[in-house]
């Protein structure tokens, strides 16, 4: 039977949750196929007061504990308690991990009290479409409350805890969109049937990629690699490969200064002090216009104010908007759209290994700040395995080691490794699963 022709947009409800940025960021990457825009399940128009209260308490607990993490002793103790509840068990030896954990049982306690029944009913009445959930509780709830169409769960990390899978995975109808090969294998250990698992990659926004042929990404990649390899160490060795893949003569691409570093703070605001520490260490390079630093405060006005105040106190006030940019948007949709544009001109992404780890697939080398939580430890390992990221050294000396990594072509090599080894077209592959169309013929690498 011939493959179906790829169809138009708006094929599914996309349902997220405002729990940090990770789940909304994944939903943002699917907006081209979402009916309307993505729906934030804990903050949508008409949400019942009880639902809003239960969701708010869950989110506030997570963000409060995340902010405690940098505090010596007490922070580690409090955070380790939460992390234990949502811990990802060791993968080896392979064994049956299908027994529900405490977190899953807690989710179903809330669901049985009616959590998300209103949203489930509302979507059923408006239009019966497949639904893609980027937060596990949302998928569990919609199945429990009888949503009749296909339910997909998009996993937002490179590995996953048992909480992502339904109470009874063998009988559950939920299907899974896996960003990595390790997630595929983990789902099997958790008891999910193989026919309900699809390896797709993470949905990097299409406006960064530019279609199946990656027209936008290849242009941005060519410029980024030249920025990150001023001495031509990487490009001189691989120019034939670069020319064949990117369609340009690497040595002919105009090199622009400064190198742009984007530091992205997580949704809970942890590691804000690190951003200021980096700015201080790079002070002279910023003043000489060798480096441009973008500090991403996301949707948190208080965090943007923190950056302004501490940069001024450090004598960096005149650099703001002239070497240092502080990026803030009140609206989450505006934030994600503008962040896409920032990433296109970013040469180096500096962040904890959150869901942003997947953006190495867009050819952006990632410097990893210390991970927060079990899932970020696994993201860190994945990034190292694909060769798209590296753990940061001491922030106070970053002007030195960053320059060494640029001069030696190491960051250019990481950009290339991420582009080649990590999935790039997740949003297109997910659409192909939802619509039953074909996308590409090359299998995704099963990087574990």
Q: How far apart are CA 152 and CA 12, in angstroms?
A: 10
Task: Name the β-bridge partners of 261.
Answer: 293, 348
Closest CA to 82 of 58, 62, 102, 59: 62
pLDDT tens readout for residues 156-189: 999 999 999 999 999 999 999 999 999 999 999 9
Q: In degrees to the nearest 10, what's the CA dihedral of 276, 278, 281, 285?
A: -110
Q: DSSP string covering 106-175, please?
A: HHHHHHHTTTTHHHHHHHHHH----EEESSHHHHHHHHHTT--S-EEEE--SSS--GGGS-SSTTT---E
Tokens 């609206």 belong to which residue?
A: 331
């505006």: which residue's tokens?
Answer: 334
Tokens found for residue 388: 């798209």
Give the pLDDT of residue 436: 87
Taking the C-alpha atoms of residue 374 and residue 83, their distance in angstroms, rounded to an integer, is 6
Number of H helices, E strands in the chain: 18, 12
> Which residues partner with 351 through β-bridges?
264, 368
Token digits of residue 46: 């008409």
Q: pTM (2 decimals)? A: 0.91
Q: Which residues of the chain have a pLDDT value below 50?
A: 1-8, 65, 68, 73, 78-79, 448
305, two tokens: 């104010």
For residue 6, the model assigns a pLDDT of: 45
- In the numeric block, which tokens belong to residue 45? 């128009």
Measured between alpha carbons, how far is 339 from 346 in angstroms, rounded to an integer? 10
Cβ-based burial of 221 (10 A; exposed 0-12, middle 13-18, buried ≥19)? buried
Instruction: State pLDDT tens for residues 93-152.
Output: 999 999 999 889 989 999 999 999 999 999 999 999 999 999 999 999 999 999 999 999
SS3 for 253-266 is CCCCCCEEEEEECC
Tell me phi and psi for residue 348, to 5 degrees: -135, 130
In the chain the domains, ranked by start, together with CATH numbers, are 13-204+426-435 (3.40.50), 208-421 (3.40.50.2000)
| Phi, psi at 13, each rounded to 5° | -75, 135
Q: Annotate 329-376 with DSSP letters as a single string.
A: -SSHHHHHHHHHHHHHT-SEEEE-SSGGGGGGGGT--EEEPPP-SHHH
pLDDT of residue 255: 61
C-alpha to C-alpha distance for 78 and 83, rounded to whole angstroms: 9
3-state secondary structure 158-195: CCCCHHHCCCCCCCCCCEEEECCHHHHHHHHHCCCCHH
DSSP letter assigned to residue 9? S
């Amino acid at each position: 039977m011939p493959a179906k022709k790829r169809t138009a947009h708006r094929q599914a409800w996309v349902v997220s949750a405002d729990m940090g940025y990770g789940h909304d960021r994944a939903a943002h990457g699917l907006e081209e196929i979402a009916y309307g825009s993505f729906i934030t399940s804990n903050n949508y128009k008409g949400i019942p007061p009880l639902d809003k209260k239960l969701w708010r308490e869950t989110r506030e607990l997570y963000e409060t504990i995340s902010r405690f993490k940098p505090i010596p002793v007490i922070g580690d103790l409090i955070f380790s308690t939460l992390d234990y509840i949502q811990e990802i068990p060791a993968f080896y030896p392979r064994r049956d991990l299908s027994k529900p954990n405490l977190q899953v049982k807690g989710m179903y306690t809330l669901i049985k009290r009616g959590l998300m029944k209103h949203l489930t009913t509302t979507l059923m009445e408006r239009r019966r479409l497949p639904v893609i959930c980027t937060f596990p509780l949302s998928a569990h709830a919609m199945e429990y409350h009888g949503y009749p169409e296909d339910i997909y769960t998009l996993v937002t990390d490179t590995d996953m805890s048992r909480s992502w899978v339904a109470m009874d995975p063998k009988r559950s109808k939920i299907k899974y969109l896996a960003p990595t090969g390790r997630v595929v294998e983990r789902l099997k250990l958790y008891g999910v049937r193989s026919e309900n698992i699809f390896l797709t990659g993470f949905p990097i926004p299409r406006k960064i990629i530019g279609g199946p042929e990656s027209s936008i990404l290849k242009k941005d990649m060519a410029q980024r690699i030249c920025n990150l390899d001023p001495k031509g160490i990487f490009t001189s060795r691989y120019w034939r490969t670069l020319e064949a893949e990117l369609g340009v003569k690497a040595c002919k691409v105009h090199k622009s200064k400064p190198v742009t570093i984007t530091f992205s703070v997580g949704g809970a605001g942890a590691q804000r002090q690190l951003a200021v520490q980096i700015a201080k260490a790079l002070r002279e390079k910023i003043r000489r216009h060798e480096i441009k630093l973008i500090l991403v405060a996301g949707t948190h006005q208080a965090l943007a104010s923190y950056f302004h105040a501490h940069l001024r106190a450090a004598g960096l006030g005149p650099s703001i908007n002239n070497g240092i940019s502080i990026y803030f948007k009140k609206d989450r949709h505006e934030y994600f759209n503008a962040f896409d544009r920032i990433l296109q001109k970013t040469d180096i992404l500096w962040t904890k290994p959150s869901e942003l780890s997947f953006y190495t697939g867009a050819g952006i080398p990632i410097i990893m700040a210390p991970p927060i939580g079990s899932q970020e430890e696994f993201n860190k390992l994945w990034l190292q395995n694909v060769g798209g990221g590296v753990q940061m050294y001491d922030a106070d000396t970053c002007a030195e080691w960053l320059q060494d990594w640029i001069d030696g072509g190491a960051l250019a090599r990481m950009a290339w490794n991420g582009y080649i080894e990590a999935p790039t077209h997740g949003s297109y592959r997910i659409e192909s699963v939802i619509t039953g169309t074909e996308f590409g013929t090359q299998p995704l690498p099963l990087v574990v």
